Structure 1
Amino acid sequence: MSRAAIISDRRSTGLSADVIAELVAELGPLWHERHQARLASKPRKRAIGAGAKHRLVFVDRLLATLVHLRHGAAHDVLACWFGVERSTITRAIAEVRPLLAERGCTISPGVRLRTLAEVVDHLGAGGKTGIIDGTEIRDRRPAAGRKDRDKFISGKSKRNDVKTMVVADGDGRVLFCSPTSPGSCADIPHARQSGLVTLLAEGPAVEILADAGYQGLGAQTGGHVITSPHRKLKGNAPDWYEEMHERQRKAHSSRRIRVEHGITHLKNSRALSRHLGRREHITDTVQAVAGLLSHQQTTNLTSAR
């Protein structure tokens, strides 16, 4: 009953039944292969396959993970839905979440982007414009006495955050989410850590739109990054200059607003509106949600055509 209710109602996972079916067909054999390899790697007294059988089949493990990512449902609640112990749900999510994160972002049926280098090559080959923006995800406060505790305090929101860089195309489709860094890291250092500056300086000619947080990155990338127009005249600037600057600023904002829409869709998943799990899992969570969102976006575009 739980399985049927989750698949039939898109509000449960944010995914259509067709996308869930594709996930089952793709990830099921991979999960089974890794599970068998994990069993074979341990010293055993019984043959592989002996003993108690799983009460939670792979389809239910996948659905539990999707509901957890979408709504942040507690493991205890999911355990009640599926009639298993809490530890079983915890183990299932820990196994399925990395599989979802490794899939990458779907740009067409069967074609995915898994690294930032692949994203830059994709944009360059198609002559497309990319849009980047950093977003912060609220995180738990680090334990008292931890040496790097202050690193997670964002200078913008004044709270404990982690930051990720989102790359979208001109249609607002998410192409990549970078590994997370502590919230105190500014946008430009985070872009450097992700390798964006090196890829743009040495790679194909790509136009990347960014906000004022990336001001100065254009000079480091040979003009590939275009930021909001800089206000050169301050104070008693003439009216014609104010009008020109406002017109340029609005034109730039109207082009890059689509990445903001992509970030909004990402944060429709409660797992990214506020992360309550272990900090070492947050990168997998971000990239898993980005991959699921891009898959659903691509499916919607394909069906619309």
Structure 2
Amino acid sequence: MGAGAKHRLVFVDRLLATLVHLRHGVTHDVLACWFGVDRSTITRAIGEVRPLLAQRGCTVTAGVRLRTLAEVVEYLGVTGETGIVDGTEIRVRRPAVGRKDRDKFISGKSKQNAVKAMVLTDGDGRVLFCSPTTPGSCADITHARQLGLVRLLSDGPAVEILADAGYQGLGAQTGGRVVTPPHRKFKKNAPDWYEELHERQRKAHSSRRIRVEHGIAHLKNWRALARHLGHREHTSDTVQAIAGLLSQQQAADLISTQQS
């Protein structure tokens, strides 16, 4: 039964090699030396295990995992928790000269070649969802619409999602479920009382949504996301695999804290 070469690494070793690669960014050549196999064996092992990790979803409690954005919205509706959403960029290698889609990876924010993922956390910064990546030129609000966030919030339970100014406009489309920083009423010659009020409201909103930045920072601590040097086609599996592993660690830490 089956075809192709048999594995020279048992599954535990393949899993270990993938975890080391994701966490520390160790190259395939170095891993091949450690395990005493050919580089192609490591590449094959990581290519097989990484999608499996990406499909696991994000762990919120023991035995409960969220794999889709719809499940996250339903979870927030049941628990009554506030969600926080933000986009994050991952630098990638520049596409080859002559490719017709070469410019679409250039981020309008950082002016570098990147891909973008949407991250959704709870009020404590625990990762609940990380989307597949899209080219860096895609705006945050466009990416959210493409993922179906507007439809899920409009037709789903009453939840509160905090977002930054990049998502302004979603509040009106979702019945106020997406909360963004307040608009400025005066663009010029604003009275002093308004400047003080607007700054106070802006800081209050920022202090509530800062936890998503902490969650993204924990994701970026994994060296594979500091800068992705592999194929861009693998970034979606990479970021979702890391999000799942990070969420499992966060859930374990929460359980340990509650028991102590």
Please confirm whether the aligned pair reaches a TM-score higher than 0.5, indicating the same fold.
yes
- The total of aligned residue pairs comes to 258
How far does residue 256 in structure 1 lie from its aligned partner after superposition?
0.2
Query: What is the match of residue 21 of structure 2?
Result: 68
Larger Cα-atom Rg = 1
Task: Specify the code of the residue in structure 1 equivalent to 2:122.
Answer: D
Classify 1:79/1:227 alpha carbon distance in 2 versus 1 (closer, same or farther; 3 Å): same
Q: What is the alpha-carbon distance in structure 1 between the residues aligned to residue 70 and residue 78 of structure 2?
A: 12
Q: What is the alpha-carbon distance in structure 1 between the residues aligned to residue 220 and residue 118 of structure 2?
A: 14
Query: What is the match of residue 120 of structure 2?
Result: 167
Q: What is the alpha-carbon distance in structure 2 between the residues aligned to residue 174 and residue 113 of structure 1?
A: 10
Q: Deviations over 1:77-132 (max 9, x none)?
A: 01111111111111110111011000000000110000000000000111110000
Q: What is the alpha-carbon distance in structure 1 between the residues aligned to residue 153 and residue 100 of structure 2?
A: 35
1:91 corresponds to 2:44:
yes
Q: What is the alpha-carbon distance in structure 2 between the residues aligned to residue 68 and residue 53 of structure 1?
A: 22
Q: How does 1:63-212 map to 2 (within 5 A)?
A: 63-212=16-165
Q: What is the alpha-carbon distance in structure 1 between the residues aligned to residue 193 and residue 169 of structure 2?
A: 25
How far does residue 75 in structure 1 lie from its aligned partner after superposition?
0.3
> Gaps spanning 5+ residues in structure 2: where?
none
Task: Specify the code of the residue in structure 2 equivalent to 1:249.
Answer: R
Q: How does 1:188-267 map to 2 (within 5 A)?
A: 188-267=141-220
1:275 corresponds to 2:249:
no
Q: How does 1:5-24 map to 2 (within 5 A)?
A: none
> Gaps spanning 5+ residues in structure 1: where?
1-39, 45-51
Q: What is the alpha-carbon distance in structure 2 between the residues aligned to residue 211 and residue 114 of structure 1?
A: 24
The alignment's TM-score, normalised by the length of structure 2, stands at 0.97
Does the 8 Å CA contact 2:8/2:41 hold for their aligned counterparts? no
Q: Deviations over 1:273-292 (max 9, x none)?
A: 11111111110001000000
Q: What is the alpha-carbon distance in structure 2 between the residues aligned to residue 300 and residue 238 of structure 1?
A: 48
Task: Specify the code of the residue in structure 2 equivalent to 1:282.
Answer: T
Task: Specify the code of the residue in structure 2 equivalent to 1:206.
Answer: V
Percent identity over paired residues:
80
Name the SS for the 2:117 alignment partner.
Answer: strand
Q: What is the alpha-carbon distance in structure 2 between the residues aligned to residue 285 and residue 119 of structure 1?
A: 20
Q: What is the alpha-carbon distance in structure 2 between the residues aligned to residue 68 and residue 232 of structure 1?
A: 49
How far does residue 54 in structure 1 lie from its aligned partner after superposition?
4.1
Q: Deviations over 1:175-226 (max 9, x none)?
A: 0011111100001110011110110111111100000001111011111100
Q: What is the alpha-carbon distance in structure 2 between the residues aligned to residue 219 and residue 133 of structure 1?
A: 18
How far does residue 234 in structure 1 lie from its aligned partner after superposition?
2.5
Query: What is the match of residue 48 of structure 1?
Result: none
The alignment's TM-score, normalised by the length of structure 1, stands at 0.83
Root mean square deviation, CA, Å: 1.2
Name the SS for the 1:62 alignment partner.
Answer: helix
Task: Specify the code of the residue in structure 1 equivalent to 2:172.
Answer: A
Does the 8 Å CA contact 2:158/2:177 hold for their aligned counterparts? yes
Query: What is the match of residue 302 of structure 1?
Result: 255
Task: Specify the code of the residue in structure 1 equivalent to 2:138.
Answer: C
Task: Specify the code of the residue in structure 2 equivalent to 1:207.
Answer: E
Name the SS for the 2:207 alignment partner.
Answer: helix
How far does residue 235 in structure 1 lie from its aligned partner after superposition?
2.1
Q: What is the alpha-carbon distance in structure 2 between the residues aligned to residue 229 and residue 67 of structure 1?
A: 43
| Farther off after superposition, 268-277 or 230-239 | 230-239
Q: What is the alpha-carbon distance in structure 2 between the residues aligned to residue 191 and residue 74 of structure 1?
A: 33
Name the SS for the 1:120 alignment partner.
Answer: helix
Q: What is the alpha-carbon distance in structure 2 between the residues aligned to residue 56 and residue 293 of structure 1?
A: 25
Name the SS for the 1:163 alignment partner.
Answer: strand
Query: What is the match of residue 12 of structure 1?
Result: none
How far does residue 243 in structure 1 lie from its aligned partner after superposition?
1.0
